[in-house]
C-alpha cells in the first residue's frame, strides 16, 4: 500500500464501478445532490485516487476487473485507512453481506437499487466521516440549515439546486472570510472541472438572484467571494 498524502477537500465521494452506464448514473445522482464526485473504473485507478485525495466516502462495485474489492478493502483497513465504504453488488445472500462488513465495509446495497436510496446512504456515511458542523449557519437574515439542507431568507424557504446549496454552505461555513474560486471548485465540483472556467461565476450569479436584496455574496477583488452582511471589500 502507498503512504497516505492528505489533500484538503470537503464532501467528496469516490465511485469505483466498471460498468460505464452505472458509473455515470451513480455519479450523476451524487453530483445532483451537491456532492463532488471522482469516478474510476478499476482498482488501480481507485488506489491512485485514494492516494492523492482524502474522501468522505467511497462507493465500490463488489466485483471489478482486477478482482474482488473486498480484498482491496482489507488492505486499506490494515493500512489504517478509515474512509467509509459502501459496496454495490448483485450478490444478495446474507453471507455475502456479512463478508462485506467483515472486510471493513460500512454499508452494502444490492443491485438493482434506487438512486435516491444510494444518495441517502452515501450522505449518511459522509456525515459519519466528516467533522461536526453547526446545524445552522446564520448571516444577517439568511439561515443555511446543513442538517435539513434548507435555506431561508427572512424566514422564506428558498429553492436551490444541490450545487447551489453546496457552494452556499461552503461560503456560510467561512462567513465574513474570502473563499477563492479555486477552493470552491475543489470543494464543490469534481476533478474534471477546469479551475479557470467560469462555472463558479455563473453559479454565483444564480445564487445572488435567488438570495435577493440586500446582497450577501460579495466579490473580493483578486481573491474570490465572501458571504457577509456588509459589502466590505466588494470589487
Domain-located, residue 234: no
20-64, pLDDT tens digit by residue? 999 999 999 998 888 889 999 999 999 988 888 888 899 999 888
Domain count, the chain: 2
Same domain? For 17 and 122 the reply is yes
> Is position 147 within any domain?
yes
Task: Read off the pLDDT of residues 153-195 as tens digits, 9 standing for 90 and up.
Answer: 998 999 988 888 889 988 998 888 898 888 888 778 765 555 5
Note whether 173 and 214 are same-domain residues.
Answer: yes
The reply to whether 115 falls in a domain is: yes
Give kind and range of the element (H or E) at residue 206: helix 199-211
> At which of 129, 155, 184 does a domain end?
129
CATH code at position 28: 3.40.50.2300
- Can you give 133-162 as a three-state secondary structure string? CCCEEEECCEEEECCCCEEEECCEEECCCH
Chain segment 92-147, per-residue pLDDT in tens: 788 888 888 888 899 999 888 999 999 999 988 887 765 445 568 889 999 998 77
- Is residue 97 domain-shared with residue 154, that is, in the same domain? no
End-to-end CA distance of the chain: 47
pLDDT of 5? 34
**CA pair distance 195, 193, nearest whole angstrom:** 6
* Cα(77)–Cα(69) distance, integer angstroms: 12
Question: Which letter, b or e, does each residue of 75-101 get, where b requires 16 or more Cβ atoms within 10 Å of its Cβ?
Answer: ebeeeebebbbbbbbeeeeeebbebbe
Residue 40 inside a domain? The answer is yes
Assigned domain for 5 exists: no
Do 37 and 120 reside in the same domain of the chain? yes
Chosen domain end from 104, 129, 154 = 129
Residue 207 predicted with pLDDT over 60: yes
In a domain, 2, yes or no: no
Boundary (domain end) residue, out of 97, 129, 161: 129
Same-domain check for residues 40 and 120: yes
Q: 224-227 and 136-139 as β-strands: parallel, antiparallel, unpaired?
A: unpaired
Whether residue 114 sits in one domain with residue 149: no
Cell representation of residue 170: 461552503
Cβ-based neighbour number of residue 184 at 10 Å: 22
Does a structural domain hold residue 153? yes
Q: Which pLDDT score is estimated for 119?
A: 93
Assess whether 33 and 110 both reside in one domain.
Answer: yes
For residue 160, the domain's CATH number is: 1.10.10.10
Domain with 36, as residue range(s), is 12-129
Do 142 and 119 share a structural domain?
no
Residue 6 lies in a domain: no
Kindly state whether residues 37 and 124 are assigned to the same domain: yes
Amino acid at each position: 500500500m502507498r503512504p497516505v498524502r492528505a489533500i484538503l477537500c470537503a464532501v467528496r465521494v469516490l465511485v469505483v464501478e466498471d460498468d460505464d452506464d452505472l458509473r455515470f448514473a451513480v455519479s450523476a445522482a451524487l453530483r445532483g445532490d451537491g456532492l463532488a464526485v471522482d469516478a474510476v473504473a478499476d482498482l488501480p485507478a481507485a488506489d491512485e485516487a485514494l492516494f492523492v485525495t482524502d474522501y468522505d466516502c467511497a462507493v465500490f462495485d463488489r466485483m471489478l476487473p482486477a478482482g474482488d474489492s473486498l480484498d482491496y478493502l482489507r488492505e486499506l483497513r490494515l493500512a489504517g485507512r478509515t474512509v467509509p465504504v459502501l459496496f454495490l453488488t448483485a450478490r444478495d445472500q446474507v453471507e455475502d453481506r456479512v463478508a462485506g462488513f467483515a472486510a471493513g465495509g460500512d454499508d452494502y446495497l444490492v443491485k438493482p437499487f434506487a438512486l435516491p436510496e444510494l444518495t441517502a446512504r452515501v450522505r449518511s456515511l459522509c456525515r459519519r466521516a466528516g467533522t461536526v458542523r453547526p446545524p445552522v449557519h446564520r448571516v444577517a437574515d439568511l439561515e443555511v440549515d446543513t442538517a435539513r439542507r434548507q435555506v431561508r431568507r427572512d424566514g422564506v424557504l428558498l429553492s436551490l439546486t444541490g450545487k447551489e446549496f453546496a457552494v452556499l454552505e461552503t461560503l456560510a461555513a467561512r462567513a465574513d472570510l474570502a473563499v477563492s474560486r479555486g477552493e470552491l471548485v475543489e470543494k464543490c465540483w469534481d476533478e474534471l472541472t477546469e479551475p479557470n472556467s467560469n462555472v463558479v461565476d455563473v453559479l454565483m450569479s444564480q445564487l445572488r438572484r435567488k438570495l435577493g436584496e440586500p446582497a450577501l455574496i460579495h466579490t473580493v477583488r483578486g481573491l474570490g467571494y465572501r458571504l457577509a452582511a456588509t459589502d466590505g471589500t466588494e470589487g
